[in-house]
Structure 1
């Protein structure tokens, strides 16, 4: 059995073992349809992702050696968990979606972000925007961090130190994709403050229904991960415990390593189709749902490439550059050759040079198109302005 088939078989086995999830509510479904009606680009991508039989497909984003000090009570049992007061630190694309989903699930949400627009979005969702991370830490029972950089994480750790020791051990669910060493250092600092961190990166992209697509890789002590999983039910499809602290970040690196290669492979396929005179939409229709070739990444990204419209982005090219750097550094630190990953990196850099930093990572298709002699430009964004 080839590696791809083996991975698909393993994924199928995991899905078979999982109990069925409740169907999304009619309100959630209506929200998705309403979003598509007001966004022609999203509606077109939805049509492109239909099977040949026109069936619509939903798109698929121990640290036991350090025991807790006896001065703190144990973490809350998630099986008896009532709605919580949750603090969101970082209210960007992913943090904003988590906040909204938690509010809809009945939790009280407070949060902070340096961007006024992000704070305003939290208020519109029904949450309470506070003036600082320190205030969030003092007001919340449990914290969730969604941050863009290691510098931001270090700043948050310092802010939590200023907030003082919590009266009960406070759980910190750290969801960012950052260097492993930086995450482990933050966990150690938080432990000294009387807080316990769970490493919890998310596999998934911006979507109005994260409950249907996001997987959160929880790593840390089993008790802490169970508590985090209880909250994550509000905004994930699944939140498995994958191992000791740091395992989640390693798994996210492995996942994004594949995504980096898949994006470029699909862009190359689309370019080849165009050069042969084959409509790439035909290729997507017949390959996108193939049990051998089809993937969620293909069904998400190829419609962008077909339309040549890359905004609004599910993952911005500029932010993806950070992930590429982090994964490359990890590979070098463990002396792992990554020839395919390294070859893809120049395509993402080329997209940045073309002014596509705010575009979806699917815009690598424009770089390959230029190399193939296509001098066309991506279509206008929704507001009529070509970015870059």
Structure 2
């Protein structure tokens, strides 16, 4: 991450960010370090507090961000959130028309992206679809891929912003192609992740050290992948927090990809074979853990573990808490009255 002078450059466009979660938050902080003026909004007070601490301006509403921003980036977790936000953006722009570029980075259904385009004024508003492949940890290594799609001239105008965030922001064509590219990326990640978990489990069952397997195959230009290098260390240590991608969030992406494939009549046999493994991780209480926890599911299936490490750790913590509580409880003994026998 390239750090520059902390004084904002007034010649640069004002960047608004709605959705200051993991991805939106790190975008805001990085752009601030690159002298952009940032105005942001999130319904979570803690997210707003992080932006304020980093030096950004916290707006009171989506409308306020829309009014102040030259470029407005949205990073939203659900279809409902996206529709609420873009209804407010559209209402604001219809009441006070202005030139603005809207950069939608969320990974949601194609129908949601199409819906946005029907809501906005046609004049002065450039709408781009630019989903991001990568995690917050990968961003620090400038390893994000930003799939840039929409009107090419508008995409070129915001490339300096993307260059602050990543070394890889290819233009992939018309609006909507960005999301389609992200679906292809996530389709492969779903498969690679479970494949890595399977290899780690297989290595353990035949008596190999999975760390040695990673050391040999991780750097390989033929077998090694970024997913292998990112997720296999979690699997080896059997520690899945803090997560790079939560299982419960990943389930949303799996659903969207599966629905799109059905809608176009495309078979995805390998992708579909991974789905029960992620579902089993959810059932085993791993929803908030990293998707690498699929290794726990396969490890139990193989008889390597009697329960996943997260559940075991939770039981130990609960037992310690119970023991501590018991130690601090003072039990008063009640003296029984002595009855003298009268002869």
Q: TM-score range by the shorter chain?
A: 0.7 to 0.9
Structure 2 unaligned runs (5+)? 5-9, 319-343
Find runs of 4+ consecutive structure 1 residues off by over 4 angstroms.
none
The answer to whether 1:94 aligns with 2:23 is: yes
Larger Rg: 2
1-structure distance, mates of 2:270, 2:112: 26
Residues 216-235 of structure 1: pairs in structure 2 closer than 5 A? 216-235=146-165
The answer to whether 1:103 aligns with 2:32 is: yes
Contact 1:211 1:237 in 2 (8 A): no
Using structure 2 for the length normalisation, give the TM-score.
0.85
What's the CA shift for 1:153?
1.0
1:172 is matched with which residue? 102
1-structure distance, mates of 2:247, 2:84: 25
Provide Cα deviations, 1:68-120, integer angstroms capped at 9, x if missing partner.
xxxxxxxxxxxxx9322110000000000100011001000010111111111
The answer to whether 1:125 aligns with 2:38 is: no
Q: Which has the higher contact order (CA 8 A, sep 6+)?
A: 1
What's the CA shift for 1:211?
5.5
The answer to whether 1:144 aligns with 2:73 is: yes
1:329 is matched with which residue? 259
Structure 1 unaligned runs (5+)? 1-23, 29-80
2:174 is matched with which residue? 244
The answer to whether 1:258 aligns with 2:258 is: no
The answer to whether 1:134 aligns with 2:63 is: yes
Contact 2:71 2:102 in 1 (8 A): yes
Contact 2:200 2:210 in 1 (8 A): yes
- Identify the match of residue 113 of structure 1 among 42, 65, 76: 42
Helix, strand or coil at the partner of 1:233: helix
Residues 236-385 of structure 1: pairs in structure 2 closer than 5 A? 236-373=166-303, 374-378=305-309
Contact 1:206 1:315 in 2 (8 A): no
Using structure 1 for the length normalisation, give the TM-score.
0.76
Helix, strand or coil at the partner of 1:245: coil
What's the CA shift for 1:167?
4.6
What's the CA shift for 1:385?
6.1
2-structure distance, mates of 1:310, 1:352: 13
